[in-house]
A and B are shown apart, each in its own frame.
Chain A
Amino acid sequence: MRSTSILLLLLIFPLLSHGQARNTKRKSPSTYNLQNREANKFLEKQWWLGFKAGMNWSRANVDQTYDVISPTNYSLAEKQYNNFKDPGITASLEITFYYKGFSFSLQPTYRNSNFSYSTHYEWDDDEEPTNRLELDYNQEQRIDYAEFPLLVRYDITNTRLRPYVQVGAYYTLLINANKSVEVSGIDYASGGTNHFTDEPIIVGAKDLFAQYQWGLMGGVGANYHLGNIRINLDVTYRQGMSLANSTENRFANQKLSGVGDAMDDFKLNSFAIMAGVMFPLRYLSGDFKSLDF
Chain B
Amino acid sequence: MKIKPFLITLLTLLSATSCLEEQNPAFDEKAFTKIYDNTEFDASYYPIDVQQTSEGGYLILGGRRLENSSFAGIYILKADKLGNFVRDYDVDESYVNPVGDFMKIGATYYFLCMDPLTLQTHIASVDMNGESFTAIPVASSLPYPAAASTDGNSILALSYNHVNKESVVSVIATAGTVSASNGYSIGAGEGVEQPLVDHFLRTGYQFPFQVGQSGSQYFFNGFYNYTFSLVFVDLSQNNPTGVVQGQQDDGGFSALLPLSGSTFAASRFNFGDNYLLPNVDLNTSGISSSTDLGGFSLPELDQNAVVRIIRATIQSQDVLVYGCNTKSNQIGLYFYNASTGAFISSQYLGYSYPFEISAVKQTAEGDLIVCGTTYVTGRFPRFSLIKIAGDQIHL
Contact = CB atoms under 8 A, between A and B. Distances in A.
Most chain B CB within a 10 A radius of its CB, from A121, A252, A259? A259
Contacts of A124: 39-41
Nearest to A76: B37
Interface stretch (A19-27, A93-101, A127-135, A221-229): A127-135
B39 A73 contact: yes
B37 A247 contact: no
Contact of B16 (A74, A125, A214): A214
A135 B85 CA distance: 22
B351 A255 contact: yes
B44 to A, nearest CB: 12
A248 B25 CA distance: 10
Nearest to A265: B23
A245 interface: yes
A281 interface: no
Contact of A251 (B32, B38, B84, B355): B32
Interface residues of A, number: 48
Contacts of A260: 35, 376
A42 to B, nearest CB: 28
A213 B20 contact: yes
B352 A70 contact: no
Contact of A258 (B40, B79, B351, B380): B351
Nearest to A185: B377
Given A210-B21, A247-B21, A131 B42 contact: yes
A247 B392 CA distance: 14
Contacts of B79: 70
Contacts of B42: 125, 131
B271 interface: no
B379 interface: yes
Interface in A91-142: 121-125, 128, 131-133, 135
A64 B27 CA distance: 14
Q: Interface size bucket, B side? A: 35 or more
A68 B35 contact: yes
Contacts of B105: none
B319 to A, nearest CB: 21
Contact of A135 (B350, B355, B377): B377
Contacts of A250: 27-28, 31-32
A133 B379 contact: yes
Contacts of B205: none
A217 to B, nearest CB: 16
Contacts of A131: 41-42
B41 A132 contact: yes
A211 B349 CA distance: 25
Interface in B1-41: 16-17, 19-24, 27-28, 31-41
Contacts of B40: 73, 123-125
Contact of A242 (B21, B85, B330): B21
Nearest to A125: B41
Interface string A32-76: 000000000000000000000000000000011010111111100
Contacts, number: 125
Nearest to B389: A248
A252 to B, nearest CB: 7
B21 to A, nearest CB: 4
A189 B36 contact: no
A251 B389 CA distance: 11
A123 B24 contact: no
B37 A70 contact: yes
A201 B352 contact: yes
Contacts of A279: none
B33 A212 contact: no
Interface in B28-74: 28, 31-42
Given A63-B23, A125-B40, A254-B351, 10 more contacts: A123-B39, A123-B40, A123-B379, A212-B19, A213-B20, A242-B22, A244-B21, A245-B21, A258-B355, A262-B33
In the A-B complex, the 7 residue pairs with the smallest Cβ-Cβ separation, listed nearest first, are A258-B351, A243-B21, A210-B21, A257-B33, A125-B41, A131-B41, A242-B20
Interface of A: 63-64, 66, 68-74, 121-125, 128, 131-133, 135, 171, 183, 185, 189, 201, 210-214, 242-248, 250-252, 254-255, 257-260, 262, 265
27 contacts: A68-B33, A69-B37, A70-B79, A71-B85, A72-B38, A74-B38, A123-B380, A133-B41, A171-B16, A185-B377, A189-B41, A210-B20, A212-B16, A212-B19, A212-B21, A213-B20, A214-B16, A242-B20, A242-B22, A244-B21, A246-B21, A247-B21, A248-B31, A251-B386, A254-B351, A258-B374, A259-B352
